[in-house]
Copies of this chain bind each other. A is one copy, B any other.
Amino acid sequence: MRLLHTGDWHIGRQLNNNGINLLEDQKFIFHEMVKLAQKEQVDGVLIAGDLYDRGLPSVDAVQVFNQIINEFLFEAGLPVYAISGNHDSSRRLSFGQEFFRRQQFFLATDLKDAFEPIETADTQIFLLPFIDPIDARIYYKDEEPESLKDIHQAVSRIVKDMTARFNPQKAHLLVTHFAVAKSGDEAALRSQMLSETLRTVGGLTSLNSSIFADFDYVALGHIHTHHASPSENVVYSGSPLIFNKDEAKRKDRKGVYIIDISPDAVSKKFVELPVYRDFLVLEEHFDRLTAKEFYEAYPRQKARFAFDILTKSRQELEGINVRAKLEDIYGSEIIDISIHSREESSRITQSQKRQERLTASEEEIIESFYKEMTDGEAMTAYQKDAVTDILSQLKEK
């Protein structure tokens, strides 16, 4: 069968978390997704968690989700296989589940849902929502709690019980929502990047992809870029649109996977989605940014912008209303303006470093710590994403 794999919708999310509503962008992108699903003639849609950005979504976010689900089910006639992620309130989402299930919208929000695969002609689709080890300890109440103390032990046990239901005549597909690492990255994460405390908060310790070896395809959610996929068959679709400046700067390509799965073979292709409104990050000197021959090349008034302004010294921009000038040229949706002084960064002292740490973002602190510990190695995109994700979740608590 052919399936569309998406995830990390985060309906209701704000761009760069700074108040700019993405609902219009999200409506557009979901509608494009429905069109793509129809064009690719898929048999169903997998949504790998984090449907909403918050456990308690706004009424507007609820209406957008309602509309897209109606489009998939009743206009395109496509079954939807979805799970709750760590950003969702699983108990809130579970309302109406029985009505949904009877009409081919399979929404798993509870660990117990993981053990009843949906049977299609040639594939068993298992839906494992995001869980915390405590959920596994509650579910397996008869077991020794000692054997389920971290997420690795919990998911191992769950996978064992899922494989016990495998029909050997069929392909086996899992939709789930965790941080899953390639072996190398995982080791890096574990030993260097994060303290023991951070690693165990909220079940965020990453799993090794080998834990899912028995499945033919694992449709993952949690990390927002498909480049973070730990293996050929254990795959992140990434989020369908850009959520912040870092992603925009990396020019992250957003899209979905189209998967062909059968008992004999699995193949996939990444299909980019169109963009409702571009988000461009320009790293330049201020006089370039404001020079006509430079800015005329950009779709001003149409795109959103962020600026990393390079300066030779702190004094260079004194007396200039940088934001007003940039808004005049690039329009009013300027997401972020950062000023980088080359002079300062070249003669940084330890005490300045300490001072910087006080004003730096947590991401920057972790990045610079990583650099120090690895003799100047930069964090990979995957690692940065994991950090951003973990921090945003810690802030939510």
Contact = CB atoms under 8 A, between A and B. Distances in A.
Interface of A: 56, 59, 62-63, 65-66, 70, 73-74, 89, 91-92, 94-100, 102-103, 105
7 nearest A-B residue pairs (beta carbon): A96-B96, A59-B91, A99-B99, A66-B95, A62-B95, A70-B98, A99-B103
Contact of A89 (B59, B65, B74, B89): B59
B94 A96 contact: no
A2 B70 CA distance: 32
Contacts of A91: 59, 62-63
A95 to B, nearest CB: 5
Contacts of A98: 70, 73-74
A109 to B, nearest CB: 11
A202 to B, nearest CB: 18
A147 B63 CA distance: 31
Nearest to A98: B70
A340 B285 CA distance: 80
Nearest to A89: B59
Contacts of A66: 94-97
A361 to B, nearest CB: 32
A109 B302 CA distance: 37
13 contacts: A59-B92, A62-B91, A62-B92, A62-B94, A63-B91, A63-B94, A65-B95, A66-B96, A73-B99, A95-B96, A96-B96, A96-B99, A102-B103
* This chain: copies in complex: 2
Contacts of A103: 99, 102-103
A65 B105 CA distance: 20
Listed residue (A95, A97, A99) with the most chain B CB atoms within 10 angstroms of its CB: A99
Contacts of A62: 91-92, 94-95
A96 B100 contact: yes
Nearest to A56: B56
A102 B98 CA distance: 13
Nearest to A100: B99
Contacts of A92: 59, 62
A334 B212 CA distance: 55
Nearest to A97: B66
A73 B98 CA distance: 10
A56 B57 CA distance: 11
A276 to B, nearest CB: 24
A59 B103 CA distance: 24
Given A66-B96, A99-B105, 16 more contacts: A56-B56, A59-B92, A62-B92, A63-B94, A63-B95, A65-B95, A66-B94, A66-B95, A66-B97, A73-B99, A74-B98, A95-B95, A96-B96, A96-B100, A99-B99, A103-B103
Contacts of A94: 62-63, 66
A62 B97 CA distance: 12
Contacts of A96: 66, 95-96, 99-100
Contacts of A95: 62-63, 65-66, 95-96
Nearest to A96: B96
A53 to B, nearest CB: 16
Among A59, A65, A92, A97, the one with the most B-chain Cβ atoms within 10 Å of its Cβ is: A59
A74 B96 CA distance: 12
A65 B98 CA distance: 13
A57 to B, nearest CB: 9
A9 to B, nearest CB: 15
